[in-house]
Copies of this chain bind each other. A is one copy, B any other.
Amino acid sequence: MKTSTRPIALYSRIKQHLVTQMDSGKLQPDDRVPSETQLATMFAASRMTANRALKELSEENRIIRIQGVGTFVARPKPDAALLEIKSIAKEIADWGGIHSCEVLLLKKETPTPDIAAKMGLSADNPVFHSILLHKDRGVGVQYSERFINPEVAPDYLAQDYTKITPSDYLLGAAPVQEAEHVIEAVRCPSHVRSHLQISATEPCLCLTRRTWSFDRVATFSTMISPGSRYKLKGKFNRGKTNG
């Protein structure tokens, strides 16, 4: 039996201290968290140690760090924009272990009444519509579908949307004010069947999460044939939006 004799690391104790304060309510959402320098003094640590604690808490979405301003307790509901981008990327990462994907289709087209209503557009107002096909390593196929209002589309889309990479497309989204997420299970739609080469008669359940925001609709789906086992795999290579 081997047990770790190493004491709890200092950066970890700083993290724990802050988490306790947040969970107990002493630090409320939007409250300012002590700066790296202050934490370093409080715990007789170097700034780098405090930096590590705050950095990890930031990655865990417990706090928000703004260069030049400070660090603040994150709200229980994180910003929808952050959520929308991160959740899509994470979903692909966690469910599919996708390491590569490609844009099958990216064009303007009229949205369905359902989509148009959700986006606050008229049905004849064209939107950017794309399907991204994600190939995992030999186990399954997934796809993402997005509708973006051209009037508020990101710059790279308006300029030359053929040059964007899938990761740009997934991660480099325009700011979003609010988003709603709906999880549902539907039959695999015909246009997806054609892309994924699934015959119309072949049963295929489409497990879908749909995200609405004021300027876009994003759908992430996993195709499941009844009785099939979908094995989870791997990890998506995270990216950053800023070049």
Contacts and interface: CB of A to CB of B under 8 A. Distances in A.
Interface of A: 3-4, 19, 23, 59-62, 74, 76-78, 83, 87, 90-91, 94, 97, 99, 137, 180-185, 205, 207, 222, 224, 229-238, 242-243
A183 B90 CA distance: 17
Q: How many copies does the complex hold?
A: 2
Q: Which secondary structure dominates where chain A touches chain B?
A: loop
A234 B185 contact: no
B60 A243 contact: no
A99 B230 CA distance: 28
Contact of A207 (B77, B183, B233): B183
B184 A224 contact: yes
Contacts of A184: 205, 224
A224 B183 contact: yes
A64 to B, nearest CB: 12
Nearest to A235: B61
B99 A94 contact: no
A4 B23 CA distance: 35
A137 B76 contact: yes
Nearest to A182: B229
A76 to B, nearest CB: 5
Given A87-B94, A94-B87, A94-B91, A62 B237 contact: yes
B185 A231 contact: no
Given A4-B243, A76-B97, A94-B94, A238 B60 contact: yes
Contacts of A137: 76-77
